[in-house]
Amino acid sequence: MPGTARHDREMAIQAKRNLSKATDPVERLRLQCLARGSAGIKGLCRVFRIMDDDNSRTLDFKEFVKGLNDYAVMINKEEAQEIFQIFDKDGNGTIDFDEFLVTLR
């Protein structure tokens, strides 16, 4: 098994273990992405872009929740609201793509 694939597998296993202990909603989202391997966060970013219908590089809460559901992220509505508020730094009701990436990483 190549080093990269081995590292990817180990990272996914570790993320799954840590998910059961994580209480911070952003950390739980990040770990769910990492449990899919190194492409997990990249995949969620792709979903972000797909859900951004008007190419504004922002999502409202409804688009955000739909994107999480489409990506099969297991998160309840309260956690989604809390995450959205953390990402929405300026409180304008939308999250910016760049802030989304910085916060998630």
In the predicted structure, residue 7 carries a pLDDT above the cut 60: yes
**3-104: which CATH architecture?**
Orthogonal Bundle (1.10)
**pLDDT single digits (tens) 45-54:** 777 787 787 7
Rounded to whole angstroms, how far apart are CA atoms 27 and 32?
A: 9
In the predicted structure, residue 102 carries a pLDDT above the cut 80: no
Instruction: Work out the angle between the directed axes of helices 97-104 and 40-51 (0-180°, nearest 10).
Output: 160
Please tell me the predicted confidence (pLDDT) of residue 40.
67
Q: Which of 39, 26, 33, 22 lies closest to 89, judged by CA?
A: 26
